[in-house]
Amino acid sequence: MLKLYYAPGTCALASHIALAEAGAAYTTERLDFKANQQNSPDYLKINPKGRVPTLVTDRGNLTETPAMLAFIAQSFPQAKLAPLDDAFAFAQVQAFNSYLCSTVHVAHAHKARGPRWATDETSFADMKRMVPKTVGACFALIERGMLKGPWVMGEQYTICDPYLYTLATWLEGDSVDLATLPKVADHRKRMSERPAVQKVLAEEKA
Amino acid sequence: MLKLYYAPGTCALASHIALAEAGAAYTTERLDFKANQQNSPDYLKINPKGRVPTLVTDRGNLTETPAMLAFIAQSFPQAKLAPLDDAFAFAQVQAFNSYLCSTVHVAHAHKARGPRWATDETSFADMKRMVPKTVGACFALIERGMLKGPWVMGEQYTICDPYLYTLATWLEGDSVDLATLPKVADHRKRMSERPAVQKVLAEEKA
């Protein structure tokens, strides 16, 4: 049985949705970020990075959203969440998810996680001011050339979709104008109508 | 025939080494970062992100190091650069590479790429001051728990190794003390002795 450690409002939502879409048998455990539970000694034994998500499997613990999403797709091939028999198409899926992880999420993180990379309040404020522009530029690139529609990779729903959806739910908080991103907005709406997404959101809010 | 766009001193080195280790037929094209060639109109048609590496294939262009490394491993299975028949072991490889991409490389980038996330000189200086600490903390985690030895994943050389090697060549420039990282230093030395690594380094320096 798989077990997902998550916190509401974090990128763990992507893996949570993917597990539900895959029809996986899984349990979840919620961490309290306000109590800094992700840095508690008990959790650091599970994930020494002090972050979510972590996926506990019978072979050991996995971290890093792009790796977990590919693992879920490969472990539940009948759900067809990635083009597993086509190395190039799989690489396109992975490239999209890697961009979300290493560029888009990182741009967003400069709003509230400035202390990861600097020490002065003035630097944090400077970083925070730039977030609408940097996150906006990332999503403009996605809108213009990466999101094929109706799903990220075109007709086939993949592990790119819950990940894009997750980061797109942060856009208003990052002061990016959704009106400039009609394809992203349409994708987010279509995602929000999927039963697996509604089930997971209800669980994370409960 | 594959074609790799790279610039010396960048993370493109990881994919370059992987291509050589795989025995792939490939050509390379060097970009001049000092002339900002990565943002030239011609290159932006190849990679709209204005970054390296880009791998041109007969199916289209790929970006993002973790995706390219997995693609190389899957395209040249005889080179055994990843555990392709074991979803969990493959996910461990991917998790390691995702950490390098989204956390370690990002920490390093705050030394010279401050304008990506802020606008003030004081913020750039603040970010730069923190790099020895943040990159040092990342590599301490790698040293302590992630680098199994002799290679990252243990006895089998994988696509994690050229990527770790690439980022480890930046440690002195980031003022991280190699003496505190004996396993990483040993790994870097062993990597530098591989014929594929020597061939690629000679080509990038030529």
The DSSP code sequence of B25-48 is: -EEEEE--GGGTGGGSHHHHHH-T
Kindly state the average pLDDT of the residues B18-36: 97
Instruction: Report the distance separating Cα A191 and Cα B7, nearest Å.
Output: 39
Mutate: best of A2, A102, A110, partner B, most B CBs <10 A: A102
Kindly state the average pLDDT of the residues B12-34: 97
Instruction: Report the distance separating Cα A48 and Cα A42, nearest Å.
Output: 10
pLDDT at A32: 93
Instruction: Report the distance separating Cα A37 and Cα A43, nearest Å.
Output: 7
pLDDT at B206: 87
Instruction: Report the distance separating Cα A193 and Cα A187, nearest Å.
Output: 10
Please confirm whether the linkage preceding B66 is cis (ω < 30° from 0).
no
| pLDDT, tens only, B131-171 | 999 999 999 999 999 999 999 999 999 999 999 999 999 99
Distance from CA of A156 to the nearest CA of B (A): 18
| pLDDT, tens only, A129-162 | 999 999 999 999 999 999 999 999 999 999 999 9
Please report the number of interchain residue pairs, chain A to chain B, with beta-carbon separation below 8 angstroms: 148
pLDDT at A106: 98
In the sheet with B54-57, reading across from the earlier edge strand, the strands are B26-30, B2-6, B54-57, B60-63
The answer to whether A99 contacts chain B (CB < 8 Å) is yes
pLDDT at B28: 97
| pLDDT, tens only, B63-119 | 999 999 999 999 999 999 999 999 999 999 999 999 999 999 999 999 999 999 999
The pTM of the whole model exceeds 0.90? yes
pLDDT at A43: 96
The residues facing A27 across adjacent strands are A3
Largest CA distance in chain A: 51
Average pLDDT, chain A: 97
User: Above 90 in pLDDT, residue B124?
Assistant: yes
Nearest to B91 among A70, A90, A102 (CB): A70
Distance from CA of A104 to the nearest CA of B (A): 10
Q: What are phi and psi of A20, to 5 degrees?
A: -65, -45
Largest CA distance in chain B: 51
Q: Decide if the complex's ipTM is over 0.85.
A: yes
| pLDDT, tens only, A25-78 | 999 999 999 999 999 999 999 999 999 999 999 999 999 999 999 999 999 999
Q: How confident is the model at residue A206 (pLDDT cuts 50, 70, 90)?
A: confident
Q: What are phi and psi of B29, to 5 degrees?
A: -135, 125
Tell me the CB-side half-sphere exposure of residue A206, using CA atoms within 13 A: 10
